[in-house]
Amino acid sequence: MESKVFVQYNHTDPCAIARWSTKESFQFMSARPWQQVIDFYSDVVKGQKPLSALLGTTCLSKSKIYNRIESVNSQNRGGRWARLTFKIVVSYHGGSFDGWQKQPDLYTVQSVVEQSLGEFVDEKKAQMLKDKGLPLEGAATVAGRTDKGVTALHQVCSFYTWRKDVKSQDIADALNSVAPGKLRTVSVTEVSCVFHPNFSAKWRRYLYIFPFNDEEDREQSKKTGENAQKFKIKDTHHEQEVVYDECNNTNVEDVIITDDVELETEKKPWMFSVSRVNKLLQKLEGKLLSYKMFARDTKASRNEGPPTECFVFHARAREYRLPCSEHEKGSRVMCIELVANRFLRRMIRVLVATSIREAAAGADEDALLKLMDATCRRATAPPAPPDGLCLVDVGYEEFDSQDCLITKEHID
């Protein structure tokens, strides 16, 4: 039986020998107590716990929920201005749905939202749907689609109707009844028809909760050691041992990971510093960069140029204690906050996994910036599990650097 060949990116920097392979990164990220995070997000969505129970801050300001574009009134106007447009903010638990986007035979957020909006469509559209043999559903436009397993606390979508008797509270009640405990209405407000949840947005804020597995991590640390790390490189002819010490250049210049060379995992560094992750991420702040190496499953037309460019306003990491019944003081987690004008598909999850991998390998603080110039997406780590990711809110005014979940003062 032939052994499986894993194609790895040929990193040539001094930390190449310490860096986890794709398989190792996936295994490390998967072997976490994710259920604690899933349960916490579920409690927040249900309104049983505030996000501040973890972060200890006032997480959302009123200015991000109500904004200037909503102040336009549609009364006494004709044409398309006569229709009623509603901005709907919902909270939903990622583990309860197969993502946002409607798909055949899958239980998605969009499908349940549009089903509940069906009772508010106007007669003309209702008749059109009936003639085509389609179900009576409203059409919801969203600020950004989330993958299966990703939670949202303030996801923004819009819906319009030509009926004049529809009230915001009616929509809120309909949405609250469609999936109790899984989806909750945060707010419904009438807005101008020029409002678009996606194109009108100035920024998006995401939070990633990474749970530590303290007992296993400590055991792994004992095996690995704090100073010198030993690595084995095998091929079909011989076995040699390379001694690694804090990513120096001494023993790694001639080490090349190719298709027929497999790096052993048992002596790689499996501990990382949260402060190192924070420093890696901070290098992304205030820059317009192409994140094509950190994207996955994007169309070929979006793999080059401006479609891959994102401006990151804020990127920080800090250690917190996650409230849970198993630990009186809470379980140890790392929280990562990312705010940008836009994000590519799976970009956040790849950034999280890659920053952890680079921190463990002892890479330089500009490691993420250097990876932007890589020639293959295998240079970055596979996406972190979706269970830790949460869309916190979407902003329609200029980003305020003082309105963050993790500030410089918190870290210092």
- Active centre residues (catalytic): 147
Q: Are 117 and 140 spatial neighbours (Cβ–Cβ below 8 Å)? A: yes
Residue 31 phi/psi, 5-degree rounding, is -85, 55
Residue 346, φ and ψ in degrees, nearest 5: 60, 15
The span from the CA of 201 to the CA of 64, in Å, is 10
Give the number of other CB atoms < 10 A from CB of residue 329.
8
The answer to whether 204 and 343 are in contact (CB under 8 A) is yes
The values of phi and psi at residue 105, to 5°, are 65, 15
- What are residue 338's DSSP bridge partners? 206, 315
Q: Is 47 left (phi over 0), alpha (psi -120 to 50) or beta?
A: left
Q: Is residue 324 classed as helix, strand or coil in its secondary structure?
A: strand
Closest Cα to residue 155, out of 340, 393, 397, 388? Answer: 393
238: how many CB neighbours lie within 10 A of its CB?
Answer: 7
Q: Name the residue among 341, 320, 316, 340 with its Cα closest to residue 331.
A: 320
φ, ψ at 400 (rounded to 5°)? -100, 115
3-class secondary-structure state, position 303: coil
For the beta carbon of residue 253, count every other beta carbon within 10 angstroms.
10
**C-alpha–C-alpha distance, residues 187 and 172, integer Å:** 7
In sign, the C-alpha dihedral spanning 35, 275, 146, 400 is positive
Query: Treating both helix axes as pointing N-terminal to C-terminal, what angle do 347-361 and 274-282 enclose, rounded to 10 degrees?
Result: 120
C-alpha span between 107 and 113 (Å, rounded): 11
Q: Of 20, 25, 27, 22, nearest to 5 (Cα)?
A: 22
Angle formed by the axes of helices 347-361 and 22-30, to 10°?
100
For residue 84, give the DSSP letter.
E
